[in-house]
Amino acid sequence: MPLSAPLRVGFDYTRSLGPVLGHFMTELRARRVVGVRGSDGRVHVPPVEYDPVTAAPLSEFVEVAAEGTVVTWSWMPKPLAGQPFDRPFAWAMVRLDGADTPLLHAVDVADPSAMSIGMRVRIRWAADPIGGITDIACFEPATNPLPTTYPQFAEPSTTPTRPSPQPAGADRLARGRPPGEGGGRAGDVTMVTTPIHLDVVHSVSPEESKYLRALAHGKLLGQRCPKCHKVYIPPRGACPVDGVPTTDEVELPDVGTVTTFCVVNVPFLGQRIKPPYVAAYVLLDGADIAFLHLVLGCAADEVRMGMRVRAVWKPAEDWGTTLENIDHFAPTGEPDAPYETYEGHL
Amino acid sequence: MKQPAAVLGVGQTHHRAKRLDVSMAGLCREAIDRAMADANVDWDGIDAVVVGKAPDLFEGVMMPELFLADALGAVGKPLLRVHTAGSVGGSTANVAVSLIHSGVHRRVLAVAFEKQSESNAMWALSIAPPFSMPVGAGAGGYFAPHVRSYIRRSGAPEHIGSLVAVKDRHNGARNPYAHLRQPDITLESVRASTMLWDPIRYDETCPSSDGACAIVLGDSSAAHRDSAWIQATAMRTEPTTFAGRDQVNPRAGREAAHALWREAGITDPLQEIDAAEIYVPFSWFEPMWLENLGFAAVGQGWKLTESGATAMDGQLPVNASGGVLSSNPIGASGMLRFAEAALQVMGRAGDHQVDGVRRALGHAYGGGSQYFSMWVVGSEKP
Amino acid sequence: MAVVGFAQAPHVRATEGTTNGVEMLVPVFAELFAETGLTKEDIGFWCSGSSDYLAARAFSFIAAVDAIGAYPPINESHVEMDGAWALYEAWLKIRTGEVDTALVYGFGKSSAGDLRRTLALQLDPYTVAPLWPDSVSIAAMQARLGIDAGLWSERAMAEVAARAHGGDAVDLLGEPYIADPLRRHDCAPITDGASAVILASGERARELRERPAWITGIEHRIDSGSLGARDLTTSPSTAASARAADVDGVEAAELHAPFTHQEILLRQAIGLGDDVSVNPSGGPLTGNPMFAAGLSRIGEAARLLFDGLHGRVLAHATSGPALQQNLVCVMEAR
């Protein structure tokens, strides 16, 4: 059974909006909805920047109502991460009064029997609008009683755009932006931040799994391609030259030669080794391909092409199915390998 | 059988670290609107759209051409989305050419973009999967060891990389669209800049840019008198790693160049190419690619650079636009090379125009120096 | 130009393999070469379709070329689309006269992540995707629009499912909804897979197969990226592609409809009569490997010609939310 492990890939994306979407988000923050009139006269809500028929840039904004009609809907019994509710709700496309195209959002009802095409719904605003589509918390049936006041806005339909609360990036934009950057009037919403976090299962090939399981026992296990007979470490699901899986196992020593390397001085988001560090290609004796690892045990400027190095293993009790069992490679003190011995691996 | 194809017009954005004044759609349209005006065509004249960009993780949108269809004027038309890593801008142009060469379409819009400020490229390119050793450090960390290998193999003196950086930044200062415009940069200031990924210095590294590029291509009936004709295209791929792989002078690049020169009828590229736009994200790649492309013998590329032959007034001006070292919206960087080559042939490069360009090379590479795409454009119809 | 070979990996809910598709592709390529007698050196152009987001990794397609054994270097390209569009690019390449054969492949390991959620990232990133509307919910809203308009019914949808899976439509209607108005049988299963096709120009095609599947028309179009601006009860891009590709006289059709109502919608958009056999392979409802399923439709339709079962067939591929982008390929025996 090949090895697998969870991998979480996530970033909070910072999206600049441009004039059309920026105006839409700025108005949302003030609890108003604006659409844009298309080349064919249709009012698009949310506004589109370019006309779906003529591709012309659009700029004629039209304010529409916070109430509208359900055009279609579906029921979400088990919401997924990031969706508007963590309890069952309806998705719906809602045509707001004054708009010609429907908006996709959630409707907060307890049961699908409360939903129907043609039903009247209205926006339930988020308590703390920031200038984003989630300022619309959801829709609710228009038959629900209206809330008497919103927490911060006594008269939502007439409150002018106000600078607070600021979305991420807005204050930075307002001050001294360089030419070509930033946009919109001071205080307008110009950016949205969208977290996107995905959980995936990362699997490795059966061949690499054997190598990783051997690593857990402190062994370096390569495999030979049955066609070209080159020794690969890690072994491969397909020899990149021959397109067939590597097969015959070859145990390799933990000694080898630095073919080439760089010194990483640059820090970056997500970095797991503190710079500066030497990232070096290490060609193990008996292998036909080098892999990238760390070289420590001497000053960075003493690392050389051709330097002979040996693995420095972590304590055995810390070993797992990973190349990280080797903490780093350190100089053996032997004379450097002649250039000809690794020239073909550069 | 093969229908001749020509560049009718090109357009690009003002490239910046963060183009916070536009959305992704607005960024693309800035380039597209310029290209269509340059080509003097309207939307009715565009038969198909080809889009290219590098990894979707950069913007956090899966296949963004889907939501961008309206902005790209693609609704009701064929749309293709190309992704061949860093070479994608060039590949996108080449795929668009094949739409014309095949006789299927008369006019095609090719667009490439990257809005790197939506996330962080170092993050996206350094995600360490489980079980691996987390030594990766972005593109610079990947390419720096191979630059070291080049220096060892060729015996190039250490200042060559800095020479390229000075040349390209000076060129970029003449290009109104360039992200970095540094007319005052000097050899001394480059050599004094921080070593990021030794042997690559800060000033020898491309910036991270938001930007887009667009090219309108057409067949013989759509071509204008001053269009740049596609005289050859080539694409080649090889695996990222394999036993004995030459990472300094990859065979895929050599074979792509060989096929390109043959199709263009070129036997001595140094003599027959008047300007070259070569994908040089780290300055040392200029001499490396000069050899790979056959402009210089193996181990001799740095001598061409050192001699000044690749400067604006040299025998083979390389990256008169300032190149990737001056602007790097990754997905668009390859198409910018192709577009700038066409601009030189059309004589529309403005302050960075090289005199008398009849034939120019556009070049892009990607992945671990394993994806190559190239074109030769010229004033003569093939 | 003709399709002369087709192979695909078994449709499974989850493979143990990597997201780079190598374990699925190696045997698929071997099968294709055995079927056609070609070797990798005979292939003039390679083109693939896959998605970085399915693997949640930048450049996920790069490792896939290891499955080819891509050295000496190959003439190759990649689309971030279903393999059906990679086939279109390869079709162009052969038309230019530069090459006379092409191998096209698509692959995807949907099981690595949460597919319904990942596909939300195809929606407008400013006004829609931040709500994470999943692909099944979007399809369910489309289904209800058609039901309300009288274009199809839950009963008709169940009949599509019954034909694909066997079983009785009335019994299926007794099953609970998973996204009202969709029941489990209305939705394609999440599937890992890969498929590959070999294309060859005229003379080469006749050498390689007795009954090649000659491509007489291949067209694709895209609709608006704004869900609200589209009429979701039909597919203008499919209809336009079908008109341009000339679908008259087709006897069978492989439709890339991941939801039962979409099969009905596509039949209506293309204008297929009741006499046209739809998805004789079982179609996407029995296996829907993302980024390969569209290419598989072309392969499955071609196989109907290889085997002499039909004289003129149609294949369809889709991409994007609620059938946004569509391709139609018409093939015939000669």
- For residue A48, what is the domain's CATH number? 2.40.50.840
* Helix, strand or coil, per DSSP, at residue A140: strand
* Residue A1 lies inside a defined structural domain of this protein: no
Question: A interface mutation test: which of C226, C265, C290 has the most A CBs within 10 A?
Answer: C226
pLDDT of residue A185: 67
**pLDDT beyond 80 at A166:** no
Q: Which CA distances in Å does B33 have to A39, B23, B29, B43, B212?
A: 18, 15, 6, 10, 11
Least confident of A269-283, B221-235, C6-20, C62-76: A269-283
- Å between A1 CA and nearest CA of chain B: 15
Cα distances (Å, whole numbers) of residue B228 to B89, B220, B316, B340, B377: 18, 11, 19, 11, 6
User: Are residues A217 and A171 located together in one domain of the fold?
Assistant: no
Query: A177-186, A302-311, C217-226, C245-254: which has the minimum mean pLDDT?
Result: A177-186
Closest C-alpha among A336, A334, A297 to residue B152:
A336
Per-residue DSSP letter, B121: H
A141: pLDDT confidence band, cut at 50, 70 and 90?
Answer: very high
Query: ipTM strictly over 0.90?
Result: yes
Query: Can you give the pLDDT at residue A273?
Result: 82
Indicate the burial class of B256 (C-beta count within 10 angstroms; 0-12, 13-18, 19 or more). Answer: buried
Contact status, residue C240 vs residue B78, Cβ threshold 8 Å = no
Q: How far is A282 from chain C (nearest CA, A)?
A: 21
Which of C22, C45, C96 is the best mutation test for B, with the most CBs of B within 10 A? C96
Interface of A with C in 87-106 (CB under 8 A): 91-93, 101-106
Superfamily of domain C213-332: Thiolase/Chalcone synthase (3.40.47.10)
The confidence score (pLDDT) of residue A147 equals: 66
A260 touches chain C (CB under 8 A): no
Q: Torsion angle, CA of B220/B226/B227/B228, rounded to 10 degrees?
A: 120
Are C126 and A48 within 8 A, CB to CB? no
Q: What is the mean pLDDT of residues C108-137?
A: 97
Contact B239, A241 (CB under 8 A): yes
Is the pLDDT at A182 greater than 80? The verdict is no
Q: The domain at B5-121+208-219 falls in which architecture?
A: 3-Layer(aba) Sandwich (3.40)
Q: Is the pLDDT of residue B185 over 80?
A: yes
For residue A11, being part of any structural domain is answered with no
Three-state SS letters, chain C:
CEEEEEEECCCECCCCCCCCCHHHHHHHHHHHHHHHCCCHHHCCEEEEECCHHHHCCCCCCHHHHHHCCCCCCECEEEECCCHHHHHHHHHHHHHCCCCCEEEEEEEEEHHHCCHHHHHHHHCCCCCCHHHCCCHHHHHHHHHHHHHHCCCCCHHHHHHHHHHHHCCCHHHHCCCCEEECCEEHHHECCEEEEEEEEEEECHHHHHHHCCCCEEEEEEEEEECCCCHHHCCCCCCHHHHHHHHHHCCCCCCEEECCCCEHHHHHHHHHHHCCCCCCEECCCCCHHHCEECCCHHHHHHHHHHHHHHCCCCCEEEEEEEECCCCCEEEEEEEECC
- Number of neighbouring beta carbons within 10 Å of residue B310: 27
- pLDDT at residue B330 is higher than 70: yes
pLDDT score recorded for residue B137: 79
pLDDT above 90 covers what percent of chain C? 96
Query: Which of C127, C136, C152 should be substituted to probe chain A, the one whose Cβ sees the most A Cβ atoms within 10 Å?
Result: C127
**What residues of chain C, 312 to 331, have a C-beta less than 8 Å from chain B?**
319-321, 324-325
The token pair that represents C305 in the structure block:
């010609």
Task: Quote the DSSP letter at residue A289.
Answer: S
Answer yes or no: is pLDDT of B79 > 50: yes
Measure CB to CB from residue B102 to each of C96, C121, C319 and give the nearest one: C96
Q: What distance in Å separates residue C27's CA from the closest CA in chain A? A: 9
Q: Using the 8-state DSSP alphabet, how is residue B267 labeled? A: S
Residue B34 at interface with chain A, using a CB cutoff of 8 Å:
no
Interface contact flag, A238 C66, Cβ < 8 Å: yes
A295 touches C at CB < 8 Å: no
Residue A66 lies in a domain: yes
- At B255-283, the pLDDT tens digits run 999 999 999 999 999 999 999 999 999 99
Domain count, chain A: 2
A177 and A99 in a common domain: yes
Rounded to whole angstroms, the Cα distance separating C197 from C209 reads 13
Structure tokens at B322: 């300032």
pLDDT of residue A43 exceeding 60: yes
| Identity of the amino acid at B355 | D
Cα–Cα nearest to A305, from A341, A277, A276, A271? A341
> In this structure, are A128 and A185 located in the same domain?
yes
> How confident is residue A165, by pLDDT bands cut at 50, 70 and 90?
very low
CA distances from A81 to A197, B57, B265, C132 (A): 9, 19, 58, 8
Q: Which tokens go with C172?
A: 């299926």
C2-114+189-208 and C213-332 in the same fold: yes
User: Over the stretch B203-213, which tens digit does the pLDDT of each residue have?
Assistant: 999 999 999 99
Chain C residues whose beta carbon lies within 8 Å of the beta carbon of residue B77: 221-222
Q: What is the pLDDT of residues C131-157, one digit of tens each?
A: 999 999 999 999 999 999 999 999 999
Spatial CA neighbour of C215 closest among C43, C115, C91, C110 = C91
Asked whether residue C78 carries a pLDDT value surpassing 90, the answer given is: yes
Question: Over 80: is that where the pLDDT of A175 sits?
Answer: no
Q: Which amino acid is located at C35 in the chain? A: E
In terms of domains, do A42 and A173 share one?
Answer: yes
Whether residue A158 lies inside any domain: the answer is yes
CB nearest to A265's CB, from B16, B149, B194: B194
Question: What's residue A282's pLDDT?
Answer: 98
When the pLDDT of each residue in chain C is averaged and rounded to a whole number, the result is 97
Residue (of A133, A171, A148, A182) closest to A26 by Cα position: A133
* DSSP string across B28-80: HHHHHHHHHHHHT--GGG--EEEEE-S-GGGTT-SSTTTTTTTTTT-BTS-EE
State the Cα–Cα distance between residues C274 and C284, nearest whole angstrom: 20
Is A191 in contact with B242 (Cβ distance < 8 A)? no
Interface of C with B in 17-76 (CB under 8 A): 46, 51-53, 56-59, 61-63, 65-66, 70-76
State residue A272's pLDDT score: 77
Residues A178 and A269 both lie in one domain = no
Q: Within this chain, do residues A299 and A174 fall inside the same structural domain, yes or no?
A: no
Helix (H) or strand (E) holding B338: helix B330-346
C1, pLDDT greater than 70: yes
- Of C55, C70, C145, which is closest to A72 when you measure between CB atoms? C145
Q: What pLDDT, on the 0 to 100 scale, is given for residue A275?
A: 86
Strand intervals (E) in chain B = 5-12, 48-52, 79-82, 107-115, 195-198, 200-201, 210-219, 228-237, 275-277, 359-366, 371-378
Distance from CA of C159 to the nearest CA of B (A): 31
**Chain C partners within 8 Å of B117 (Cβ):** none
Residue A167 has pLDDT above 70, yes or no: no
Contact criterion met (CB below 8 Å) for B331 and B89: yes
Structure tokens given for B175? 């290009």
* Residue C57, amino acid: R
- Chain C CA closest to residue B48: C221
pLDDT of residue A184: 56
Which one of C20, C25, C59 makes the best mutation probe of the B interface by having the most chain B beta carbons within 10 Å?
C59
Are A289 and A170 part of one and the same domain?
no
Same domain, A235 and A167: no
Domain locations along chain B:
5-121+208-219
pLDDT-derived band at A173, boundaries 50, 70, 90? very low
Substitution target from B59, B80, B118, B258 for chain C, most C beta carbons within 10 A: B80
Segments making up each domain of chain C, as ranges: 2-114+189-208, 124-186, 213-332
Question: Facing residues of A211 across strands?
Answer: none
Tell me the C-alpha to C-alpha distance, in Å, between residue A62 and each of A27, A37, A47, B306, C257: 11, 7, 9, 61, 37
Residues in chain C: 334
Closest-approach residue (CA) in chain C for A53: C224
Classified as helix, coil or strand, A230 is: coil
Q: Is the predicted pLDDT of residue A170 greater than 50, yes or no?
A: no
User: Per CATH, which fold does C2-114+189-208 belong to?
Assistant: Peroxisomal Thiolase; Chain A, domain 1 (3.40.47)
Is there a single domain that holds both residue A34 and residue A172? yes
Report the residue from B66, B78, B101 with minimal CB separation from C221. Answer: B78
Task: Give whole-number Cα distances, C136 to A77, A94, B49, C161, in Å.
Answer: 12, 18, 29, 16
B162 to chain A, any CB pair closer than 8 A? The answer is no
pLDDT at A188: 95
Distance CA A21, CA A101 (A): 16
Question: Nearest-CA distance from C246 to chain B in Å?
Answer: 15
- Which positions in chain B touch C51 (Cβ < 8 Å)? 56, 62-63
- Nearest Cβ partner for C18 among A48, A196, A237: A237
Measured between beta carbons, which residues in chain A are less than 8 angstroms from residue B113? none
Per-residue pLDDT at B244:
96
| C positions 243-262 inside 8 Å of A (CB) | none
Question: For position B127, what pLDDT does the model report?
Answer: 79
Residue A282 lies in domain: 208-345
Place of tokens 């450090």: B137
Q: Which residue on chain B is closest to C115 by alpha carbon? A: B62
Q: Is the pLDDT of residue B360 over 50?
A: yes
Residue B302: helix, strand or coil by DSSP? helix
CA distance B10 to B35: 4
In chain A, what percentage of residues exceed pLDDT 90? Answer: 84
- Mark whether A166 and A229 lie in a shared domain: no
- Tell me the chain A residues in contact with residue C116 when contact means C-beta distances shorter than 8 Å: 80
Residues in CB range of A174: below 8 A, 6 or more apart = A182, A186, A187
**Structure confidence at residue A149 (pLDDT):** 54
Q: Cβ of A81 under 8 Å from any chain C Cβ?
A: yes
B146-166 pLDDT tens trace: 999 999 999 999 999 999 999
Contact A265, A275 (CB under 8 A): yes
Determine whether the interchain pair C240/B76 forms a contact, defined as Cβ–Cβ distance below 8 Å. yes
Residues A175 and A232 in one domain: no
No. of H helices and E strands in chain B? 12, 11
Instruction: Give the residue on B whose Cα is nearest the Cα of A300.
Output: B198
In sequence order, the 6+-apart residues with CB closer than 8 A to the CB of A339 are: A305, A306, B152
The per-type count for chain A, helices as H runs and strands as E runs, is: 3, 18
Q: Which residues does chain C have within 8 Å of residue B61's beta carbon, measured at their own beta carbons?
A: 121-122, 125, 129
Chain C neighbours among A 165-194 (CB < 8 Å)? Answer: 192, 194
Is A18's CB within 8 Å of B124's CB?
A: no
Chain A: closest CA distance from residue B75 (Å): 7
pLDDT tens track for B283-313: 999 999 999 999 999 999 999 999 999 999 9
A118 touches chain B (CB under 8 A): no
Question: Do C29 and A243 meet the contact criterion of CB atoms below 8 Å apart?
Answer: yes
DSSP-derived letter for residue B128 is: -
C146, two tokens: 């058609």
Interface touch C56/A77, C-beta < 8 Å: no
A248-300 pLDDT, tens digit each: 999 999 999 999 999 999 888 778 788 889 999 999 999 999 999 999 999 99
In angstroms, what is the C-alpha Rg of chain B?
19
Place of tokens 């910036």: B207
Q: In this structure, are residues A237 and C22 in contact, taking their beta carbons and an 8 Å threshold?
A: yes
| A15: three-class secondary structure by DSSP | strand
Instruction: Give the count of Cβ contacts less than 8 A between chain A and B.
Output: 211
Do A232 and A314 fall into the same domain? yes
Is residue C189 within 8 Å of B33, Cβ to Cβ? no
Interface test with A, best of C16, C122, C230 (most A CBs within 10 A): C16
Q: Give C25's contacts in chain A (Cβ within 8 Å).
A: 238
pLDDT in tens, B217-253: 999 999 999 999 999 999 999 999 999 999 999 999 9
Is residue A324 in a domain?
yes
Q: In which element (H, E) is residue A278 found? A: strand A277-284
Share of chain C above pLDDT 70, in %: 100
Residue A177 has pLDDT above 60, yes or no: no
**Is B195 strand, coil or helix?**
strand
